């Protein structure tokens, strides 16, 4: 390798050319979408290791990933009719249909032996819209990173939506 540069690109799953990665939103017996395949490989089968950063240095425990995908928040809010504080319980669950983007970390390099510019994917990260509890703004949040060479076998065996 003579020269290389790292890039991050985003795959928007809501665009029509990327619908094979987004559908079916409800997994069937024979097909799952991209995000459900990743979630199952990380949580159920434990074939993939989730990482906290794009450099794959810090592994995330499965309990922390499960807390990101499903959590119960308790708090107090004001009742507008009586002007009193009322306790509330909010369940937050991120489904595979809530994943709107995939961040792809890749590197482009010049291979001296073959004299060609080439690229390889290093990592993938599902991105979901999550509401910030303090500001009530919807924010794009990277859930975790997956090392792509480890995920290649799992993704190649998954059946995808064919329109």
pLDDT averaged over the chain?
91
In the chain, what percentage of residues exceed pLDDT 90? 64
CA end-to-end span of the chain, whole Å?
A: 39
- Rounded to the nearest 10°, the torsion over CA 133, 138, 140, 144 is 30
Q: In angstroms, rounded to a whole number, what is the distance separating the alpha carbons of residues 58 and 82?
A: 48
Tens-digit pLDDT profile for residues 29-70: 888 899 999 999 999 999 999 999 999 999 999 999 999 999
Contact of 42 with 35, CB cutoff 8 Å: no
CA distances from 113 to 10, 107, 108, 118 (A): 30, 17, 15, 12
Specify burial of residue 97 (Cβ count, 10 A radius: 0-12, 13-18, 19+): middle
Which range has the worst mean pLDDT, 19-33, 40-54, 119-133?
19-33
The mean pLDDT value for 19-36 works out to: 88
Can the peptide bond before residue 24 be classed as cis, meaning omega within 30 degrees of 0? yes
pTM here? Answer: 0.86
Secondary structure of residue 32 in the 3-state scheme = coil
The mean pLDDT value for 78-84 works out to: 85
DSSP secondary structure letter of residue 114: T
């Amino acid at each position: 390798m003579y020269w290389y540069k790292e890039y991050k690109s985003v795959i928007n799953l809501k665009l029509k050319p990327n619908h094979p990665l987004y559908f079916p939103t409800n997994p069937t017996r024979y097909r799952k979408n991209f995000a459900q395949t990743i979630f199952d490989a990380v949580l159920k089968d434990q074939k993939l290791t989730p990482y906290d950063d794009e450099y794959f240095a810090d592994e995330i425990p499965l309990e922390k990933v499960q807390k990101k995908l499903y959590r119960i928040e308790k708090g107090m809010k004001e009742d507008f009719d009586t002007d009193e504080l009322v306790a509330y319980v909010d369940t937050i669950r991120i489904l595979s249909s809530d994943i709107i983007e995939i961040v792809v970390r890749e590197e482009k390099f010049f291979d001296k032996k073959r004299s060609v510019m080439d690229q390889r994917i290093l990592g993938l990260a599902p991105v979901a819209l999550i509401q910030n509890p303090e500001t009530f703004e919807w924010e794009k949040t990277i859930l975790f990173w997956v090392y792509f060479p480890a995920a290649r076998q799992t993704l190649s065996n998954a059946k995808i939506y064919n329109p």
